[in-house]
Amino acid sequence: MAKGTESPPGQDADSVTKAGGEEHGNVTSEMDDILASWRPHISNPRTLEWRDGWLENGYCRSCRQCCGPQESDVPYPMPLLPSQQGPEAARRFHLLAPDMAYLAGPGCKSATPSGCALPREDRPVACNLFPLALVNGTIQVFMYCPVAWHIPMDRLREIGKGVASWLTDFPPSDLRHLDRRMDPAEASRVYFPLFVSVL
């Protein structure tokens, strides 16, 4: 996933956790445990900037939840654009279908100890957006990413609008393919909405 450099756009990490949790509306003891484990490693605000095609995310270098081996074997789908499909795709990704890569237990085939081996244009769109995601036609935020708790909601929404604007340049068929269709109740367990529509 995206890597970035440190700079001070967000708000102080320790002051945002509880207040941010209430704003996002999904405070759980599991989340409190995760936050407690992150705080010693992520004590300063980090960069989060939309770069018109990818998200520069300064939290990744301390977090590193994504890309490598995962605790869950439930596949996280990563739709492939037509230009990313073909013989190379099977070498780069675990595939659910020729047009659908996924991340699960073993981690991604393109993950290396120093990050993703692929140029950004060859990475699934889901990777370049994450922890933002196109879910049920709207921009949502994966709530188990530290970004969800360290970045104020209005800033996340501003970034979400930039992502939405970029996505609407895709042909409608690609956009529908990129959209993750989920049961709303299931989606609300892992994402919170930014109230930014794309489809």
Q: By C-beta, is 111 or 172 nearer to ligand SF4?
A: 111
Closest to ligand SF4 by CB, 66 vs 196, is 66
Nearest approach, Cβ of residue 20 and ligand SF4 (Å): 15
> Which of residues 37 and 172 has its CB atom nearest to ligand SF4 in the complex?
37
> Do 2 and 54 form a contact (C-beta atoms < 8 A)?
yes
Catalog residues that contact ligand SF4 under the rule CB under 6 A: 1, 57, 59-60, 63-67, 103, 108, 110-111, 116, 118, 123-124, 127, 130-131, 145-147
Considering the complex, what minimum distance in angstroms separates the CB of residue 76 from ligand SF4?
A: 8
Q: Which is nearer to ligand SF4, 30 or 172 (CB)?
A: 30
Round to whole Å and give the CA distance between 50 and 87. 31
Q: How far is the CB of 112 from ligand SF4 (least distance, A)?
A: 8
In this structure, what token pair is assigned to residue 170? 């895709």
- By beta-carbon proximity to ligand SF4, the closer residue of 59 and 166 is 59
105 C-beta neighbours (distance < 10 Å), count? 12
Beta carbon of residue 105, minimum distance to ligand SF4 (angstroms, whole number): 13
Instruction: Work out how close the CB of 62 gets to ligand SF4 at its nearest, in angstroms, rounded to a whole number.
Output: 8
Q: Which residues of 152-188 are buried (b: 16+ CB within 10 A; e: fewer)?
A: ebeebeebbebbbebbeeeeeebbebbbbebeeeebb
Q: Please list, in sequence order, all residues whose beta carbon lies within 8 angstroms of the beta carbon of residue 104, skipping any fewer than 6 positions away.
A: 70, 72, 73, 74, 75, 76, 94
CA distance 94 to 90: 6
